Amino acid sequence: MGILHELQQQGQSVWQDYIERGQTRSGALQQLIDAGVRGVTSNPSIFEKAIGGSAAYDEHIRAILEAAPDIDAHEMFELLAVEDIREAADVLRPVFDSSAGGDGYVSLEVSPHLAHDTAGTVAAAQRLWRAVDRPNLMIKVPATAEGIPAIETLIAGGINVNATLMFSLADYEAVAAAYLRGLARCAAPQHIASVASLFISRVDTAVDRLLEVIGTEAALALRGRSAVANARMIYQRFRATFADNEFAPLRARGARVQRPLWGSTGTKNPAYSDVLYVDELIGADTVNTLPPATLKAYLDHGRVAATLTAQVDEAQAVLAGLAGLGIDLDAVCRQLQREGVQQFADAYDQLVAVLQRKRTVLTGG
């Protein structure tokens, strides 16, 4: 039994935080599934690297341009992305079927430029849902103030949602409440799946910087510990939320819990273990999305233990220590969300620029 299958026995699913059609068409994605990978996520940065970093998409781009020479670059990207997502969803369909819809999902993000536009997010998500036309699709929606009501509306309308760009307990509580409200309005909640994606490594990066400015022994001792502590406390809130009486009627109608998903789990600081955010965040009813390098490292030297519930007191102590040093973790997380929206918007714009350049090259312009 491989280590990813051992994780599955602990109740955690591993999804790959990467997608590109070469992997799907070569059989590489199937090999990962055989090893225990149970889903795939995407974002504008991932697509920018996949499309701009190879010629794998050139034939499709040329065909699109021949059929529609004046097509907008945004529409061109959507056509490319929809094909990738469909192909990955089809490869993952046996996982979806065998898990009765518990896993086997592929995530596709609405344009990050819609992060502060509720109606625009809902319309884009509905359009993408229809275009991909696969039951194992999840639409990624950022957990901004404007994204929260969009999440509720989409869940109520029967669309699977990956609520993304979460950093704080407040983000989690808003997303979970939107999910519950959406389920209550949904005609068939038993067919809905959703994850609440908490970004991990960026919290340590931001907080460590503040700790190093403080520079005391107590401050430096907390480096590399805030992100895991934050995730562990959010996991405790998740368990309480879905054990509460409010969820009982929905569970009776076949509704699933909204699993926490750990995102941004590639270790940024080379002084830390390259599998830190996998080893320390293992628990039931969770998903961990691993970029290819982290997935490779974990397959090589990861370990399996129920770490999410093992050190809750320590997590509380870490967060109390940050507060005692004057570090406002909520404020840090709000800033990280603003930066995350902008970073994805920048990546989307770079992707559009890549497609414009490819248009010029492939049409001899």
Among the options 49, 140, 268, 358, which is catalytic?
Answer: 140
Contact 237, 230 (CB under 8 A): no
Contact 203, 230 (CB under 8 A): yes
- Hey, what amino acid is at 339? E
Contact 76, 362 (CB under 8 A): no
Tell the residue number behind the tokens 């275009």, with chain if given. 131
Which residues have a Cβ under 8 Å from the Cβ of 246 and sit 6 or more positions away?
Answer: 180
Cα 299 to Cα 93, 278, 285, distances in angstroms: 23, 11, 21
Based on the number of CB atoms within 10 Å of its own CB, is 100 exposed (0-12), middle (13-18) or buried (19 or more)?
exposed
Average pLDDT over residues 333-348: 96
Contact 163, 202 (CB under 8 A): no
Cα 71 to Cα 75, 82, 317, 354, 361, distances in angstroms: 7, 16, 55, 15, 16
Contact 13, 38 (CB under 8 A): yes
The predicted structure's pLDDT at residue 365 = 60
Query: Which of the four pLDDT bands, split at 50, 70 and 90, describes residue 362?
Result: confident
Q: What are the extents of the domains in the chain?
A: 3-362
- Hey, what amino acid is at 143? A
Cα 255 to Cα 100, 147, 155, 186, 250, distances in angstroms: 12, 22, 11, 10, 5
The predicted structure's pLDDT at residue 361 = 86
* φ, ψ of residue 309 in degrees (nearest 5): -105, 0
- pLDDT at residue 338 is higher than 70: yes
What CATH number should be reported for the domain whose range is 3-362?
3.20.20.70
Any catalytic annotation for residue 49? no
Average pLDDT over residues 186-194: 97
Contact 294, 274 (CB under 8 A): yes
The secondary structure of 141-182 as a DSSP string is EE-STTHHHHHHHHHHTT--EEEEEE-SHHHHHHHHHHHHHH
The pTM score is 0.96
Give tens-digit pLDDT for 20-45. 898 999 999 999 999 999 999 998 88
The predicted structure's pLDDT at residue 263 = 97
What kind and span of H or E run contains 73? helix 73-98
CA–CA separation, 283 vs 260, rounded Å?
10
What kind and span of H or E run contains 97? helix 73-98
242, 255, 141: which is closest to 193 by C-alpha?
A: 255
Query: Which of the four pLDDT bands, split at 50, 70 and 90, describes residue 5?
Result: very high
Which token pair is 166?
């979460």
- Hey, what amino acid is at 153? T
Q: Which residue has the higher pLDDT, 48 or 300?
A: 300
CA–CA separation, 341 vs 347, rounded Å?
10
- pLDDT at residue 177 is higher than 80: yes
Question: 14 pairs with which residues across the strands?
Answer: 37, 288
328, 214, 206, 210: which is closest to 269 by C-alpha?
A: 206
**What is the three-class DSSP state of 82?**
helix
